[in-house]
Amino acid sequence: MKKFSTAILPAAFALAFAFASSAEAASKCEFLTNAPDSHTVVRGDTLWGISGKFLQNPWCWPQVWGMNKEEIKNPHWIYPGQTVYFDRANGRLRLGSPKGGNVASGEGATVRLTPQIRSENLTPTAIAAIPAGQIEPFLSQPLIIAAEQLINTPRIVATQEGHVNLGAGDRAYVMGDLNGVSQFQVFRPGVPLKDPSTQEVIGYEAVYLGTLKLQRTAKAADEAHAFRVEGFKQEMGVGDRLLPVPPTPLLNYVPHPPERSIAAQIVSVYGGVRQAGQSQIVSINRGKKDGIDLGTVLELYRFGPSIVDRTDPKNNGIFEKKQIKLPDEKYGTLFIFRVFDGISYGLIMQVTDAVQVGDVARSPE
């Protein structure tokens, strides 16, 4: 057995580290046979990546740290320079400094610290759950627009003279109630998203075009507001709609399995294509009302088809042939990073095959 060095947990960054000792958690959350004794956190690391160095399933991070539901939502963040140690004897991970000192006080003496709940916003130096750069544009840009949101939404009614479409720095004229807001995102309603099982429309995926900033408020009810294009992604024009720029969400979430069993399907691949690979964005037909939250990890399966059992002697006749279903084949994982009422968006983390619309996304087994 490899030698393990006991780490001292710094008070300022302490984690709850009681190991989840139930038989069910132990059977699902096993450590890698070649897991290292420790890993010193460096800039660019992620919770997902560090977890994958120790655990067979990165979504088992909360179990091996003994995190409860509240701590998953408001976790104790890990920073570059700290070290994650593998306590092989007790089957758990510990967080400390490489020298084993009390980081909070600067002392080098051995100090035992009591686990404590402490949450904070993610600072620029703290490591993220997953590579933030891959999802940042999707955190604040509108993705799903409900039909009722289109009613009375401010709209572009005219463009700068001589311009059919608007680009960066151009002037736009808008009608509608601004409700005191000065900065807006511009979007164009996209194609309806349909549930793969029921074929019912469950939302409309908006096409993000850019941002507008108010220059002059209308002085009369029949006068348009004057805006200037501040941010530009695609050309915008008459008829495009405005929504207030939402606050930037906090990226405080930890990879974890859903609390209850989830069985979802891939609704769409972002960008309008039919297949996706690793690090691409997809939507699923489950959301808040189904128990999905930020950081939920689902496993991806290819739906097993039904076939005729040609080895069954009873299927040799001309009568009704007996069909059997092949099992669903697991081929990857999906990390949920944005959640709406009935739809969620996820980043494809690890796949061995192309993700297709209609594929199954369900709770880890």
Beta bridge partners of 193: 203
**Whether the predicted pLDDT of 171 surpasses 90:** yes
On whether the pTM is more than 0.85, the answer is no
Q: Which of 85-94, 228-237, 240-249, 315-324 has the lowest mean pLDDT?
A: 315-324
Rounded to 5 degrees, φ, ψ at 337 are: -125, -10
Taking residues 43-69, report their average pLDDT: 88
Strand, coil or helix: 171: strand
User: pLDDT tens-digit profile of 150-160?
Assistant: 678 899 999 98
- Asked if the model's pLDDT at residue 224 lies above 80, the reply is yes
Q: Is the pLDDT of residue 315 over 70?
A: no
List of domains in the chain = 11-133 (no CATH), 143-244 (no CATH), 263-362 (2.40.10)
* CA separation for the pair 320, 214 (Å, rounded): 68
Token pair 């140690």 is at which residue? 85
- Which residues does 170 contact at the CB level (< 8 Å), separation at least 6? 159, 160, 163, 228, 229
Mean pLDDT of 43-52: 90
Query: Which position has the higher pLDDT, 249 or 171?
Result: 171
326's tokens? 């092949």
Residue 73, H or E segment: helix 69-73
pLDDT digits (tens, 9 = 90+) for 35-47: 999 999 998 898 8
Looking at this protein, which amino acid is placed at residue 337?
F
For tokens 């655990």, the residue is 55
